Structure 1
Amino acid sequence: MGMSVAEAVRTLDDEAAKKMKRLIERGVKIPPQPRVLEELRKHLQRKEFDIRLLSRVINQDAGITAMLFKVVTSAAYKQHQPFETVEQILHAVGVRQTFNLVQAISLAAQGDLKKNPQVYEAFWARSQAVAQLAMLIADERIAVCNIFPDQAYLAGVFHDCGVLLLMQRFSSYCAEMHLGEPGRWVELAEEDSKFSADHCVVGYIVARHWHLPDFICDAIRYHHDIRELGMHASRTMVAILQLAVDIYYRDQRVANPEWEQVKDEVLPELGMSDDGLLEFVDVIIERFHAGQH
């Protein structure tokens, strides 16, 4: 089982824990894990890596299975394609790696699309694009960063899930945070003053509750604040996320106000310099679009 929400809140510092408790009292709902995930985790905890059994569990959920096939058409898995069955994916990508992808996809299956379909669709389109870009950056920089594409994808899908939950709870959140406008995203100070909320902390609680690896939970908590993180995997993960978001904006031809503030932390963390950046961005965008067809 995942960590309970109350246990997850206890892992926060006092200030953040108080804020999170207030949000839960105000009706922010932390989504439960789908049954497929719980079943898969039980098998993995018992070290049961029977590929046929695991693929049967995944195949129970047609929506998750369809999305899994979509994700593994990414250029990050080029050497293993094409995939015909879930068993093939488990064999080629690896059991734990596939589990990470299924966790990410399961989150994307949450969310009440009835209320505000355009906004939700736009949110998931952005999340999926950032997650795919993060996956490709991890794949290209694997030797330097030691973060795997499945881990980067997982962090990419979850890093802004707090925004989704706040959107579901506060009807004015989208408008107040300018979420429909190109190149606008949540401003942390503004979010705090208007909603007494922090989507990074909300996302962290979801990640803890869903039992994501600790370093990914920490990356979600500090994805707008790389300077808070020392030299370890969560810092590298935030660097990958920040570069993925910047490439997403470049691809959309929209300015990213945050990049100038973080690039001096991000680039060295990924073993890159300003000089090589444009060429690297071109490679990632090309691979990203190659995987979209």
Structure 2
Amino acid sequence: MTAIAAPLPTDTSRTAAIAREIDHARTRGALQHIVVPPCPALLARLQAVMLEAEPDLNEVARIAASDVAMSATLIRNANGPLYAVGQPVQTVGQAMNRLGLRQTAAVMTGFLVRNAIVADNRHLRRFWERSAQRAIAMTFIARQLVGLSSDVAHTYGLFCHVGMPVLLQSVKGYGSTMVEAAARIDRSYVATENANHRTDHAVVGALVARVWRLAPEVMAAIRLHHDLESLGSEETEPEVQTLMAAGLVAEHLVRRQEAQLPERDWTDHSAAALAWLQVDEAEVAQWGEELSASLSAF
């Protein structure tokens, strides 16, 4: 499910400062011309249901059945290699029973987000597939750690790079910037984005999280996910740092599954991330083995 926004922490917190930064940039700064698609109405309904102490399964089923393509997505997932046991499921209710409530909500969230924010562009091949892989890896990692909500982790994994398709839709020339940023070795990806457009996908992703009322720690972690020098800093809330560190590990595992070279962030900051999470490289390698079948489903 999508992590729902709680009240922002105190005004002196790093998360509150990021919220003020985003609000200022949106009204008077570089984000004025960024168009953020509205949060889908069905997702807002799903969020409200999942906030209840005992979510109404019938209401979740009604939301799923209100969109034929979403219903088909649930049934396809339930019949996929990770869940298929016995006879294929034929209905939304059967799919929900096989997937379980949390996974049903996660699949629905991914479907709704993917259809709200279009990434059908040659510069973003397999964007939502990789986002779903990252979300699955984040959920798995959360279950290995103490104190990290799997719902919050899944949301962060899904939305981490959402600023990219939003920038591609809103900013002329951003496609060329993506090519340049990926090729340059003299500066970081976000440095190239800022040089060309006075903002970057981390800031725009945080804007999406703010507009869609995602959990404050998700918003802050998206904003800081390339500012990994702050790992271990007393200025940033522990839950935000845990998302950042786990996100770096999740990205590494997804890239390794696809036989890609490690990113610069992993090379430079993996030691700090593992230290923060109190795990070692052998544990991460084991996580990769356990996740392999799930990530291969995409």
Q: Do they superpose with TM above 0.5?
A: yes
Change over 3 Å in CA distance of 1:274–1:99 after alignment to 2 = closer
Partner of 2:162: 161
CA deviation profile, 1:53-91 (whole Å, cap 9, x unmatched): 321122112233334455667888799x98664445656
Q: TM-score, normalised by structure 1?
A: 0.76
| Candidates 188, 195, 198, aligned match of 2:197 | 195
Partner of 1:282: 289
State how far apart, in whole Å, the 2-side matches of 1:47 and 1:278 are. Answer: 36
Name the aligned partner's letter for residue 245 of structure 1: E
Partner of 1:247: 253
CA deviation profile, 1:118-166 (whole Å, cap 9, x unmatched): 334432233223223323333xxx2424434443322111111111100
Name the aligned partner's letter for residue 137 of structure 1: I
2:221 aligned with 1:219, yes or no? yes
State how far apart, in whole Å, the 2-side matches of 1:208 and 1:272 are. Answer: 31
Say whether the 8 Å CA contact 1:97–1:150 is kept in structure 2: no
Partner of 1:260: 267
Name the aligned partner's letter for residue 281 of structure 1: G
State how far apart, in whole Å, the 1-side matches of 2:83 and 2:224 are. Answer: 28
Q: Percent identity?
A: 23
SS at 1:217 equivalent: helix
| Candidates 200, 204, 207, aligned match of 2:206 | 204
Say whether the 8 Å CA contact 2:181–2:193 is kept in structure 1: no
Say whether the 8 Å CA contact 2:123–2:178 is kept in structure 1: no
The count of residues paired between Structure 1 and Structure 2 equals 279
SS at 1:177 equivalent: helix
Name the aligned partner's letter for residue 201 of structure 2: H
Say whether the 8 Å CA contact 2:138–2:154 is kept in structure 1: yes
Partner of 2:178: 177
State how far apart, in whole Å, the 1-side matches of 2:211 and 2:151 are. Answer: 19
2:277 aligned with 1:270, yes or no? yes
Change over 3 Å in CA distance of 1:19–1:75 after alignment to 2 = farther
Change over 3 Å in CA distance of 1:17–1:208 after alignment to 2 = closer
CA deviation profile, 1:79-128 (whole Å, cap 9, x unmatched): 9x986644456567665664455334321112346xx5333443223322
Q: Which runs of 5+ in 2 are unaligned?
A: 6-15
Change over 3 Å in CA distance of 1:168–1:181 after alignment to 2 = same
Partner of 1:132: 136
Change over 3 Å in CA distance of 1:64–1:210 after alignment to 2 = farther
Change over 3 Å in CA distance of 1:46–1:154 after alignment to 2 = closer
2:56 aligned with 1:54, yes or no? no
Q: Which runs of 5+ in 1 are unaligned?
A: 4-9
Q: Which sits farther off after the overlay, 155-164 or 180-189?
A: 180-189
Q: Which sits farther off after the overlay, 168-177 or 62-71?
A: 62-71
Q: TM-score, normalised by structure 2?
A: 0.75
* Aligned counterparts, 1:62-73, within 5 A: 62-69=68-75
State how far apart, in whole Å, the 1-side matches of 2:238 and 2:165 are. Answer: 28
State how far apart, in whole Å, the 2-side matches of 1:109 and 1:224 are. Answer: 26
Partner of 1:19: 25
Partner of 1:7: none
